[in-house]
Chain A
Amino acid sequence: MPHTIAEKILADHLKDSGRDAPSEPERELWPGDLVEVAVDVVLANDVTAPIAIREFANLGVDRVFDPSRVVMVADHFVPNKDIKSAEQCRVMREFARSQELVHYYDVGRMGIEHVLLPEQGLVVSGDVVVGADSHTCTYGAVGAFATGMGSTDIAVAMATGQIWMRVPETIQVVYHGELRPWVGGKDLILFTIGQIGVSGALYKALEFSGPAMEGLSMAGRFTMSNMAIEAGAKVGLFQTDEMTCSYLDARAARPYVKYKADSAATYSQVLEIDVGLVEPQVAFPYSPDNARPVGEADDVVIDQVVIGSCTNGRLEDLRVAAEVMKGHQVHSNVRCIVIPGTQRVYTEALREGLLEVFVEAGAAVSTPTCGPCLGGHMGVLAAGERAVSTTNRNFRGRMGHPDSEVYLAGPAVAAASAVKGRITGPEEVLLQAR
């Protein structure tokens, strides 16, 4: 019978079949089935790991199921923002050491987890990945069934290498047409969430497909999968194509399995989007589905710009921002904070001269951290302040004071807005003499 990508990957991970018993007849799964599946990678960070470690201890298990498949990254409140954060990081660090975790990343070697794991080749096509972070769905871009969970689920997955799942229905989003200038993955996903709403894909999988996706860069795909959760989705999957394979072949330490949906697979909904009609997008407070064309935000004066995060902290994102900002100055009323996603992104941006562009423009460049995205540190907003941010959430109080505001956008709009001191698209900056 024809199946979606999500159904196929989960069926191949059923705990009593699949890789360890290839002779067993293939089992089919359908939406609504409750199953236990084997997990390939389990992830936690400095905010979620301490609870997971506490619950792991409550299970009465001594060792994680496989120290090479439990990944921990200190990224949210690091470099430690205060004493309590330092204590939380210490809990994770000591656990990682005592369990001899192969992939534990601390300050100086870390990155924002969802930029870091694909870059390091730790997540591959066909994997089931569970992470105690809602943006774990980012890895759908490499064809992994990757989903966020809470710390207790992660504790059980760390101990057993298994997790229970409900097989999701799938919504297929088909993108046609040619992208307009300065429109990228962020604009497409904000537009899509604007169409279906923040609960439009609740309990479901999203499959991003169509001719316009074939030409979209891996960075753009990561951005789209990253924000699947902002529509309530469990995963945001791409078919594994040549672009995925060349990305994985350069990084993956493990063999991978390619999946694509059957053409006759059953979808709960099919959404067609002509990308040629999509302008650069801005999501207004206080919801990611409050997306509008950038032109509608023209009179919004801003105090801060953040360029980075697990959504848009990749080298390609920094290139776009630098292209807009080069030769210009950050507006005198704006603090602009640029955060490369990983040490490698930082190094490459340094070599390409991108960081020089930012610093000369009057932007602050930070070591990788999730910091400002969730109002942790490195750019917390005061009451009444407004920020344009390439991050993924603009809920009330997300970046600081409950009366501050976050406008979500891609790197081109963010960089242009930093220069002009109000929300605008890149054309206005590029037309201006340098």
Chain B
Amino acid sequence: MSGTAWKYGDNVDTDVIIPARYLNVSTPNELAQHCMEDVSPGFVGSVRPGDVIVAGENFGCGSSREHAPLAIKASGVACVVASSFARIFYRNAINTGLPILECPEVVQDTEQGDQLRVDLEAGTIRNLRTQQTYHTSPFPPFIMRIMECGGLIPFTRQRLGGAERSSIDTGEGPGD
């Protein structure tokens, strides 16, 4: 998939991803109507399916609101690439099936409006302007399994069904 990069700085907090004044609803499509509006008023009207949010350190810091990844996903964003993620957002994105990738090099080299091609399975990102390709470090196997199931609910449902009772593999990489 490929799309336009929406570039942001460090410490993008969940209050600007989805302001609390809209948390009186919890349906993803309603939340998406206000995604990023306090820092990026043009985002909602211009974002297209397949676009990519590219941000610096500590993306998604602050509140635990799962409304944040739900709003981003429902707005059509295909993937968030950041230098690092706040730990609750990291879990929430994996649990709700919003693709995320950690790659400081991409963040450093990407400009607003660049076209990025993301291959989630291969963990690669290609910037079509610079023709540069980047490789991201893989997720720990346990987290990969949650992502492959489409999120924590299908993953847990499968386990509760007795299909799998194995313990967690310890792996390297960013955790929760």
Q: A104 to B16, alpha carbons, bound, how many Å?
A: 30
Q: Does A51 contact B (CB under 8 A)?
A: yes
Q: Does B134 contact A (CB under 8 A)?
A: no
The answer on a CB contact under 8 Å between B67 and A51 is yes
Chain B residues within an 8 Å CB radius of A243: none
The answer on a CB contact under 8 Å between B175 and A203 is yes
**In the complex, what's the smallest C-beta–C-beta distance from B107 to chain A, in angstroms?**
14
Most chain A beta-carbon neighbours within 10 Å: one of B10, B64, B176: B64
Q: Does B111 contact A (CB under 8 A)?
A: no
The answer on a CB contact under 8 Å between A164 and B168 is yes
Query: What is the interface size of chain A, counting residues whose CB is below 8 A from a CB of the partner?
Result: 61
Q: Does A327 contact B (CB under 8 A)?
A: no
Chain B residues within an 8 Å CB radius of A232: 58, 61, 86-87
Chain B residues within an 8 Å CB radius of A287: 11
Q: A36 to B155, alpha carbons, bound, how many Å?
A: 14
* 154-212 of chain A: CB within 8 A of chain B: 155-156, 159-160, 164-166, 168, 198-199, 202-203
Question: How many contacts A-B (CB < 8 Å)?
Answer: 160
Q: Among the listed stretches A78-86, A215-223, A316-324, A352-360, which one makes contact with chain B, having 4 or more residues with CB under 8 Å of it? A: A78-86
The answer on a CB contact under 8 Å between B157 and A60 is yes
Q: Among the listed stretches B17-25, B42-50, B73-81, B118-126, which one makes contact with chain A, having 4 or more residues with CB under 8 Å of it? A: B17-25
Chain B residues within an 8 Å CB radius of A151: 66
**In the complex, what's the smallest C-beta–C-beta distance from A401 to chain B, in angstroms?**
9
Q: Among the listed stretches A106-114, A334-342, A391-399, which one makes contact with chain B, having 4 or more residues with CB under 8 Å of it? A: A391-399
The answer on a CB contact under 8 Å between B172 and A32 is yes
**In the complex, what's the smallest C-beta–C-beta distance from A423 to chain B, in angstroms?**
22
The answer on a CB contact under 8 Å between B168 and A375 is no
Known A152-B152, A202-B87; contact A34-B26, beta-carbon cutoff 8 A = no
The answer on a CB contact under 8 Å between B63 and A88 is no
**In the complex, what's the smallest C-beta–C-beta distance from B93 to chain A, in angstroms?**
9
The answer on a CB contact under 8 Å between B87 and A51 is no
Chain B's interface size range is 35 or more
The answer on a CB contact under 8 Å between B91 and A402 is no
Chain A residues within an 8 Å CB radius of B171: 34
Q: A135 to B64, alpha carbons, bound, how many Å?
A: 8
What 1/0 flags go to B95-116 for Cβ under 8 Å of A? 1100000000000000000000
Q: Does B39 contact A (CB under 8 A)?
A: yes
Q: A81 to B152, alpha carbons, bound, how many Å?
A: 32
Q: Does A411 contact B (CB under 8 A)?
A: no
The answer on a CB contact under 8 Å between B58 and A149 is no
Q: Does A266 contact B (CB under 8 A)?
A: no
Chain A residues within an 8 Å CB radius of B86: 199, 202, 232
Known A34-B175, A232-B58; contact A59-B92, beta-carbon cutoff 8 A = no
Measured CB to CB, the residues of A under 8 A from B are 16, 32-36, 47-48, 50-51, 54-55, 58-61, 76-77, 81-82, 84-85, 88, 131-134, 136, 148-153, 155-156, 159-160, 164-166, 168, 198-199, 202-203, 229, 232, 234, 287, 374-376, 380, 393, 395-398, 400, 402
A–B complex contacts, Cβ < 8 Å, 18 sampled: A32-B172, A34-B143, A34-B170, A76-B23, A150-B91, A150-B92, A152-B66, A153-B152, A155-B153, A156-B153, A166-B176, A168-B175, A199-B86, A232-B61, A397-B15, A398-B15, A400-B21, A402-B19
| 19 new A-B contacts at CB < 8 Å, known A134-B62, A199-B57 | A32-B175, A34-B168, A35-B168, A48-B64, A59-B160, A88-B25, A133-B64, A150-B91, A152-B96, A152-B153, A153-B152, A159-B156, A199-B61, A203-B87, A374-B20, A393-B13, A395-B13, A396-B15, A396-B38
